[in-house]
Structure 1
Amino acid sequence: MNILFFLKPKSELAYINDYHTLRQALEIMEYHKYSSVPILNKEGKYVGSITEGDLLWSLKRWNLLNLKDAEDISVMKVERRLDYQCVTAKSKMEDLIGRAMEQNFVPVVDDEGHFIGMITRRDIIEYCYTRMKGGK
């Protein structure tokens, strides 16, 4: 099976650009109700991922209680616990499953590192569950 079967295209997803501020990152994640999102650079390449926890601990570390202050801080200054590992469209299903066991989503990039979408752990589990129940 081709892993692109599970792909949610970039056009349907929320992400943060590396030039966004801490406040913009908070607002994007709040609006879309995501706990983790990919970070892309200006060329659309995958840079890493950021979580609610990363943002929360940064607010605490910098003693920011006023969101106005978060408008002057680049999201790239936020210390990230870990960046989700990505796969390419040519990756094997085993690679995808291995990453999905450790991450909520798996970023998918093209051969040049441009972000093309993601595959969620939920979609993989849903597919397996449906197959297990005898569906297609």
Structure 2
Amino acid sequence: MRTTTVITVKIEPYIYDMILRGQKRFEVCSESFHGADFICYVNPETDNEFPLPGLPYTDESIYYLGPEQRFDRDSDEFVQRLAGISKGEFYKLFPRPSVVAFTGQINNLYAAPIGERITNTAEIFQEESLWKR
């Protein structure tokens, strides 16, 4: 028996397009991915998964997720490049903490490689597929 974890992330459609084009290959979060195996991208405007390109009536935006790495905020420039987004967008999503001890702002960031897209949700439950990242 194996526990399989799928996390859901709401992202803007233009960022999802960057994933489809291969421009964005890492997911960055302010919290740990907690060993998640898959990531499901959801459109914040509709609360639905993104459709497959050219097939507007499908919902398949689940991807394999590789192992995470933790970075302190001194690595922001490197993590921003991993995220594949502009510096302005990066600091909008992950504001740099000034006095962390008192503000409770983000101390660390986590990055994980985005793997292949799942083309059939049944793949999630196939144990051998978990090593296909």
Shorter-chain TM-score tier: under 0.3
TM-score (norm 2): 0.26
TM-score, structure 1 normalization = 0.25
More helix by share: 1
